[in-house]
Amino acid sequence: MKYILPILVLLLSMFYQDSSAQCPLDLGQSPNVSTNGLTIYFPFNGNVTNQGSGSYTATVSGATYSTGICGQGMYFDGIDDNIQVNPYVPLTSDFTIAAWVYVDSLTQNLAVFATRDQCPTTYRGFSQGEFGINYYTAAAGGSNRIRYVINTHQNCTGWSAGDRYYVQNYTYSSGSWHFVAITVQGNITDSRIIKVYVDCQQYSMYQYYNYNTTPSFSPNNNNKSFIGAATDIAPWNYTFNGTIDEFRIYNRAITSTEMLDLYYQCKPLEVTINKHIGICSGDSATIEIINAQKGISYQLFDSTNQQLLGIAQTGGCNNLVFNTGLVTTATNFYIKAINANCQIVLDTVVSLNPSAGSGYTIYDSIELCDGDSIFLKGQFFTAPTIVYDSLLDINYCDSVIITSLLSLPLPLIDLGNDTTFCDGDSVLLSISNNYYSVLWSNGLTNNNIYINTTGTYWVEVSDSICINSDSIDVINLTNTYIQINDTSFCDGEIWTINLPTYNSYLWSNGSTGSQVTIKDSGQYWVTVTDICKSYTENFGVQIIDCSCMMAVPNVFTPNRDGINDYFFPVINCIFDEYHIVIYNRWGQLLFESSNQNEKWDGNYRGGEVPDGVYFYLITYKYLLTSDQEGQRSGSITIFR
C-alpha cells in the first residue's frame, strides 16, 4: 500500500464524508469490525460456538453447513430446520441483528431471527421481535418485503395482533447474497426507533399495524430464540429457505459506519484489469473497481506524468470503470482512493509499453440530466459512464472517440403533503425563487399561487438545463364526509379502521385516535371534526360464526366428461341432521337424500332429465352452534 500525503487540500474537501472516517480500504483489506456490545457472533465455520461476549450456546436442528459468503454458512431447508439459541435472547431494550443471507426462493415467510413465546399447538404466540422476509404478505405492501414484527394474542385461541413494520421502498430478490441488518432503540416502547440496512443502504421502516404489545414483554412468557426460524412448532416455523452466514447480535444500536464495516468484512475491494494492445496508435487499459467503498472518491492517476485523469467517481458498494485512453509512450497508472482524512494509492499498477502508430484519440464530454439517456453506437446510454467508439483512418488504424457522459442533478422541488381547505378559503402553494423557469398546471408561471378548487396540482421547474416536477392533492372538506359502511366478519377476527390523520375523532368507545380496532358485534359511531365542520357517522358490525359454511353451485354439466358431472353442496363440517330434495318445474320429486356426501348425477329412474332449470331444498341442523334447524333453497341449471 502506498500512502500519499494530503497536499491536494481543495480536491480532498470535495469528497468530505465523515470526520470520524479512517483511510480508504485497500484491495482485499477488511475493516476492523466493532466488538463493543457484540453478545452473539456465529461465523458458522464448521461449528456453532458463540464468539461473542454473551454466555449463549446454540442447538442445531436439521440445519447443515454449506458454502457461505465468508467461509462456511448454515443452510436451512425451508421446512423445519432451526438453530435454537440458549438461553433465549431478550429484546427488551436496544439491539442490532445483522447477517449475510442467501434466499433460494421467496414462496413463504422466512425468519432470520426471532424471540417468541409460541402457543403449544396451533396459534401464533407472543413475540418480542421477529426479523425476516415476507411476513404477513397480504397486509403489508405485497410480497418480498423485509419486515419486523412484535406479536400479541388472546389465550392462544383468538386473534393475533401487535406492532408490525415493513420496508416500503425495497423489494427483496432471491438467488444472490445480501447483507441484512436491523437496529432497534427502545423496543419495549411504542416510540421505538427502527432502521433496516440492505447491503450498504439504510432504509426506514413503515408501521402498518399498531396494537398494544405490553403483554409480549411479560417475564412470565416462555420465550425461545431461533436463528433461521420463528419457532419449532408448526405451522408457524417460518423456516429460512437458503443460507445464513456471519450472524451477529449487539446489545446496542450500532452506527451506520459500524454497519458498513460489517458489510465490507465479507465484500472487500477488488480490481480487474483488461489491457488492449494496439497495432496503430498505442495501447490502452480498462480498470474496474469492484465493490467500491461507500463515500470514497476514486480517480485514475498517471504516475509517470504525475497527473489525475478523467473525473472522480464516488463509491457506493458499486463497480466503477476507468479507462486510460490510448497512450503512445510507456506509462504507469494507479487508482487513488480519497476521503476527508487521507488518500491512498490502491495496491496495483497498470503498466503500458505501446509501440508507435498512426491512430489518434478524440475526447468529448456530454452532460445529461438524471434519468435522461443519449443514443450512441446504436444504443442508449445514461450517465455517468464512458462510451468508447472508433473510426478507421486512411491507414486502416483505429482512431478512438472517448465520450464521458456526466450526470447533472435535477432541481429539487417539494410541494409538501396533500392539504385541505373550506368554502371561502384558499390554499397557498409556494416554491422558492431559485428556478430558471416555473410552470403550474393552471398555466401560471409565478412562484406562488392560491387554490380554492379541489384537484391535483403540479408544478414543473427548471434550472435552465434540467427539469423536475411535483404534485399535490388539494381537497375542499366543506361537503366531504367520511362514510363507514356496515360490515361483518368471522368470530375471532378483528376489524381495524384507519381514517385520515388530518381530522380529529371521538369514537363511541371513548378513543380519540384516527385508528380503532373492533372485535364485537354492535352499533358504533364516530364524531369527525375537520377544519370545516363536525359530524357523526354511524355504522353496524355483525360477527358471523364461520365454523360451518355451505356453498351450493347453480349449474352443472352431467355429460360424463369427468368435469362437473355431479350436483352437490360443498360443506366444511358434518351436520347432525341433513336432508336434500330436488324437484322439476312441475313439482315432481327427482332426487332425495339424507347423506350430505351423496351427489345427484342428473338422472331420474335410470334416464337423463332434460336440460333446464330445477329446484332444491336443503334442511340441516348443526348442534355445535345452534339447536335451530337451518334451511337453504335455490335453483340449478343443467347443460349437457
- pLDDT confidence tier of residue 626, bands split at 50, 70 and 90: low
380 CB-near residues (< 8 Å, 6+ apart): 373, 374
For 31-68, write each residue's pLDDT tens digit: 889 999 999 999 999 999 999 999 999 999 999 999 99
Whether residue 458 has pLDDT greater than 70 = yes
Task: Indicate the pLDDT class of residue 2, thresholds 50, 70 and 90.
Answer: very low
pLDDT in tens, 373-386: 999 888 999 989 99
Q: What is the mean pLDDT of residues 147-165?
A: 81
Cα atoms in the 13 Å half-sphere on the side-chain side of 359: 25
Compute the average pLDDT of residues 286-310. 90
Q: Where in the chain is the domain with CATH 2.60.40.10?
A: 487-544
Q: Does domain 270-408 have CATH number 3.40.50?
A: no
Of how many residues is the chain composed? 640
Whole-model pTM: value is 0.53
Query: Rounded mean pLDDT of 147-158?
Result: 80
Average of per-residue pLDDT across 484-509? 89
- Quote the pLDDT of residue 9: 25
* pLDDT for the residue 7: 24
As separate numbers, helices (DSSP H) first and strands (DSSP E) second, the chain gives 2, 50
Half-sphere exposure of 364 (CA within 13 A, CB side): 11
Query: Does residue 223 surpass a pLDDT of 80?
Result: yes
Q: Is residue 133 pLDDT above 50, yes or no?
A: yes
How many alpha carbons lie under 13 Å from residue 561 in its C-beta half-sphere?
7
Instruction: List the single range of 237-241, 546-550, 592-596, 604-608 with lowest mean pLDDT.
Output: 546-550
Mean local confidence (pLDDT), 559-586: 91
**Under a CB-based contact definition with an 8 Å cutoff, are residues 112 and 202 in contact?**
no
In 452-576, at which residue ranges do the beta strands (DSSP E only) sit? 455-462, 467-476, 487-490, 495-498, 504-507, 515-518, 522-529, 534-544, 550-551, 555-556, 570-571
Domain with CATH 2.60.120.200 in the chain: 38-266
In this prediction, residues 531-547 reach a mean pLDDT of 87
pLDDT value at residue 229: 95
pLDDT at 621 over 90: no
Each residue's pLDDT tens digit, 20-41 = 347 888 888 888 899 999 999 9
**Distance from C-alpha of 409 to C-alpha of 35, rounded to nearest angstrom:** 39
Residues β-bridged to residue 65: 74
Residue 535, C-beta contacts closer than 8 angstroms, at least 6 positions apart: 481, 527, 528
Alpha helices in 215-296 (DSSP H): 256-266
Average pLDDT over residues 340-348: 84
Using pLDDT thresholds of 50, 70 and 90, give the confidence band for residue 523.
very high
> 188-218: buried (b, 16+ CB within 10 Å) or exposed (e) per residue?
beeebebbbbbbbeebebeebbbbebeebbe
Burial of 388 (0-12, 13-18, 19+ CB in 10 A): middle
One-letter amino acid for residue 367 of the chain: E
What amino acid is encoded at 574 in this protein?
I
Give the pLDDT score at 454. 92
pLDDT at 591 over 90: yes
According to the model, what pLDDT value does residue 13 have? 27
**pLDDT > 90 in the chain, percent:** 49
> Which residue would you say has higher pLDDT here, 343 or 119?
343
pLDDT digits (tens, 9 = 90+) for 402-454: 888 888 889 999 998 889 999 989 999 999 888 999 999 999 999 999 999 99
Domain 38-266 belongs in CATH node 2.60.120.200:
yes
Tell me what pLDDT residue 101 has.
97
- Strands, DSSP E only, in 251-353? 270-276, 284-290, 297-302, 307-314, 320-323, 331-338, 343-345, 350-352
The answer to whether 183 touches 254, Cβ cutoff 8 Å, is yes
pLDDT score, position 628: 52
pLDDT at 11 (0 to 100): 26
**Residue 430 to residue 415: CA distance in whole angstroms:** 7
* Cβ-contact 225, 85 below 8 angstroms: yes
79-132 pLDDT, tens digit per residue, is: 999 999 999 999 999 999 999 999 998 888 899 999 998 777 666 788 999 999
Q: What cell does 179 get? A: 447483507
| Residue 570, pLDDT above cutoff 80 | yes
Please tell me the CATH code under which domain 550-638 is placed.
2.60.40
Residue 214 has pLDDT above 80, yes or no: yes
Per the CATH hierarchy, to which homologous superfamily does domain 487-544 belong? Immunoglobulins (2.60.40.10)
Q: Output the pLDDT for position 280.
A: 59
Mean of all residue pLDDT scores within the chain: 86
Write down the architecture of domain 419-476 according to CATH: Sandwich (2.60)
pLDDT at 396: 57
